[in-house]
Amino acid sequence: MSIHKFVQKYHNMSQNVKAAFWYTFCNILQNGISVITVPIFTRIMSTEDYGIYSIYISWYTVFSVFTTLNLHYYVFNRGMVKYEDDRDGFVSSLQYLGVLSTTIVALVCYVLRGEITSLSGLSGTMFVLMFVELYTIAPMNYWMTRNRHEYKYKEVVIVTIAKTLSVPLLGILLIYIMEDDALARIISTVFITAILGLYFATGIIKKSPKPNIKKYWKYALSFNLPLLPHFLSTNILNQSDRIMISNMVGSSQAGIYSVAYSAGMILLIINTAINQTIVPWLYEKLKNRDYSNISRTFNFLLVIVFTVNIVLILFAREIIFIMAPADYYEAVWIIPPVAASVYFIFLYTLFSNLTYYFEDTKYVSFLSVIIAVLNVVLNYIFIGKFGYIAAGFTTLFCYICFSVCHYIVMRLLCKKHNFYEKIYDMKTIVALSSAMVILSLGIEFLYPYMFIRYLLILAIAVICIFNRKYIVRKFTDVRRKGAL
């Protein structure tokens, strides 16, 4: 009966609600498979090879800002609305622009190939594969984003499942066939991306072989170029730890850090899902000047994020035991600060939501650059002095600073726009944030004492059980309001 009711309810959903459901499924699938496959690859790859692959991903992420210009983000969605009558021409123009920017970056890297390979620690072959992926990832991103915008979720689901499953399966096969495990893992990703990317690129060109390039390039560049410092700084903040650990300590330590980072960032999936759902609700409430219960709703969500992160930190030893063999066990000491960083990522996102609502984003890039530079400087100082584990703590400190800075900017913008309503309960936020820092660092001292950790986990479970009616009621209330 429950299955029948679910099917009936699904059929009664509107097209956009069905699309939202399947896009959430795709997001969970992609992130879930990436987490599930970590224990497999850590057991068939050495810490050094796993570290090299992690460094490849980090450099790829940084280079992608310059090659793709992140055209499939904000400007693409705006263009889908602005140029609704010529979407084919708009998409085709962005594809040509991406090819041009990737070619320019590739030529610069070829001229500086000696310096770049020496700095990155990656081979020339790996960089060739990287640019194959950079050339072909953009058309796939355009196709996926457009289909999401037009609620063509069936095609997106099929492609997502095919890519998400085929990449790790091919990677496992190639690792057993080839001697270079890191190269095998890279080839599996590039091969699948290249096939899909070339297919979508051909389709985009066929639909609009001669688009109005001048018009659409001018619009896209004027919109996205000012945001590039923000995109680049955010990526540096997320990736510089592994790059610097590899250069200053070694690839093996970068691999260990990557496993800990992956474990600590598991809850980022929940953060993203909550924020993507809460933003439309918040903006609608602000638009209608309905400020009732906003702070209570955010307090409840913040407590949920806080609690789940604390439980993750308490289970850190068991999580690393599942995710990797004994060579990676040092990673357990990195999980607490990284998991606490996830809490502060959620927090600064709450503050930045109001910044984007006021459409006054000139401070966003400035803040991102400052924090990224701070992270690099702190990594250089403390990794050299205390070892690679210190990178987890510098990351936590930088995200705390990021949250404080975004709060200050939010307050300045509220004053500038004569907005004096109490949206967030800062007393509760300060109390939870202080508790997160103290507990995340304090729990590290309890890792040798399994009984005490399990006692704390049991206490949290008992509190949740005794308050289950209140929690369920709050969730129901939040969902009824449309916030989740």
Question: Three-state SS string across 343-403, please?
Answer: HHHHHHHHHHHHHHHCCCCHHHHHHHHHHHHHHHHHHHHHHHHHCCCHHHHHHHHHHHHHH
SS3 224: helix
Output DSSP code: residue 179: S
Rounded Cα–Cα distance for residues 275 and 349 (Å): 8
What is the model's pLDDT at position 6? 66
Q: How many residues are listed for the chain in this entry?
A: 484
Q: DSSP alpha helices (H): ranges in 45-152?
A: 47-68, 74-82, 87-111, 113-120, 124-149
Two structure tokens written together for 345: 């990522």
What is the model's pLDDT at position 277? 66
- As separate numbers, helices (DSSP H) first and strands (DSSP E) second, the chain gives 22, 0
What is the model's pLDDT at position 52? 93
Two structure tokens written together for 110: 């070829």
Judging by beta carbons within 10 Å of its beta carbon (0-12, 13-18, 19+), is residue 214 exposed, middle or buried? exposed
Residue 475 is which amino acid? F
Question: Three-state SS string across 321-337, please?
Answer: HHHCCHHHHHHHHCHHH
What is the model's pLDDT at position 14? 67
Q: Is 279 left (phi over 0), alpha (psi -120 to 50) or beta?
A: alpha
Rounded Cα–Cα distance for residues 296 and 168 (Å): 42
Rounded Cα–Cα distance for residues 122 and 131 (Å): 13
pLDDT in tens, the chain (484 residues): 466 676 677 676 667 667 767 777 777 788 778 888 888 999 999 989 999 999 999 999 999 999 988 888 777 777 887 888 888 898 899 999 999 999 999 999 999 988 888 888 889 899 999 999 999 999 998 888 888 777 787 888 899 899 999 999 999 999 999 999 999 999 999 999 999 999 999 998 888 888 888 888 998 888 888 878 888 888 888 888 888 998 888 889 989 898 888 887 777 777 776 776 677 677 777 777 777 777 888 888 888 889 989 998 998 888 888 888 888 888 899 999 999 998 999 898 888 888 877 766 677 778 888 999 999 999 999 998 999 999 999 999 999 999 999 999 888 888 887 776 778 888 999 999 999 999 998 998 888 888 888 898 899 889 888 887 777 777 666 655 555 5
Rounded Cα–Cα distance for residues 98 and 145 (Å): 15
* pTM exceeding 0.85: no
Measure CA 215 to chain center. 32
Buried b (16+ CB within 10 A) or exposed e, 371-386: bbebbbebbeebbeee
Q: How many CB atoms lie within 10 A of CB 162?
A: 12
Q: What is the dihedral of CA 248, 250, 256, 258, to 10 degrees?
A: 60
What is the model's pLDDT at position 299? 86
- Residue-wise DSSP of 431-463: HHHHHHHHHHHHHGGGTT-HHHHHHHHHHHHHH
Contact predicate 208/88, CB 8 Å: yes
Residue 409 is which amino acid? V
C-alpha gyration radius of the chain: 23
